[in-house]
């Protein structure tokens, strides 16, 4: 979302393609909806419930992205044309070499540090934030 906003503010036409029915899937729906509204107000276009079928062309010249969309109605196919393509397919935690087990810090199966609502790990005084922090424990 940060890149979408930045490039739009630089003057680029920006379309965000999202597989799910909500952008920012890990956020509360009211927060995600508010952020989407702000970005739409700045001219960012969103295609939710959409998948990329194919990409052709050369980045920096001419790129075509064939999209299959379905918002509860019969799916339709669209093609976007542009000069550049930015793929942001998510981030993975970089915790493998930290040897967290020696400190007693637990990780999820995906490698995220397990934290509570205050971003504290199970070890007193040890916190984790950002891409390495997993979802909160309940």
Q: Report pLDDT for 8.
A: 97
Q: Report pLDDT for 44.
A: 97
Q: What does the pLDDT look like over 69-95, one tens digit per residue?
A: 875 455 566 899 999 999 987 777 888
> Beta strands 62-69 and 76-82: pairing type?
antiparallel
**DSSP designation for 127:** B
Q: Report pLDDT for 138.
A: 42
Question: Which of the residues in the chain have pLDDT under 70?
Answer: 71-77, 135-138
Q: Report pLDDT for 136.
A: 59
Q: Report pLDDT for 76.
A: 61
In this structure, the number of other CB atoms found within 10 A of the CB of residue 127 comes to 13
Q: Report pLDDT for 93.
A: 84
């Amino acid at each position: 979302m940060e890149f979408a906003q930045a490039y739009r503010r630089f003057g680029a036409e920006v379309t965000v393609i999202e597989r799910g029915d909500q952008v920012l899937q890990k956020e509360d729906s009211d927060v995600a909806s508010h952020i989407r509204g702000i970005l739409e107000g700045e001219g960012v276009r969103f295609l939710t419930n959409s998948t990329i079928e194919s990409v052709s062309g050369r980045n920096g010249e001419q790129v075509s992205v064939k999209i299959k969309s379905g918002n509860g109605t019969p799916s339709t196919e669209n093609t976007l044309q542009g000069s550049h393509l930015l793929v942001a397919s998510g981030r993975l935690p970089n915790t493998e070499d930290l040897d967290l087990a020696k400190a007693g810090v637990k990780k999820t199966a995906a490698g995220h540090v397990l934290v509570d609502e205050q971003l504290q790990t199970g070890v007193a005084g040890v916190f984790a934030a950002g891409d390495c922090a997993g979802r909160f424990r309940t």
